[in-house]
Amino acid sequence: GLFKTDKVVGTAQLKLEALENQCEIREIIDVLDGRKATGGKLEVRVRIREPLAGVQLQPVTEKWLVIDPLTPSPEKDREREKYREKER
């Protein structure tokens, strides 16, 4: 019913040391009755804004394609100048 008291079905323990270097951890933990496994599992996700020991750094490798602008040849520069003079 709605107003029944809470009942403990088991316990689970999660080590939080990973939060020293990471902002988020996700684990599936066995639910225990004392020291005996109950067969149940509990999925736990913990998120914090920043790691407890400082900033979380993630190495990122990106491939870059650098395209240099073409340098016009002196011949084309002369042709452009002639074309501009004709327009005037």
* Highest-pLDDT range among 1-15, 32-46, 74-88: 32-46
Q: What is the pLDDT of residue 33?
A: 92
* Cα–Cα distance, 21 to 57 (Å, whole number): 9
Closest by CA to 50, choosing from 21, 73, 74, is: 21
Domain boundaries, the chain: 17-87
Q: What is the pLDDT of residue 9?
A: 86
The predicted-structure confidence for 12-37, as pLDDT tens digits, reads as follows 999 999 888 888 999 999 999 999 98
Report whether pLDDT(46) > 90: yes
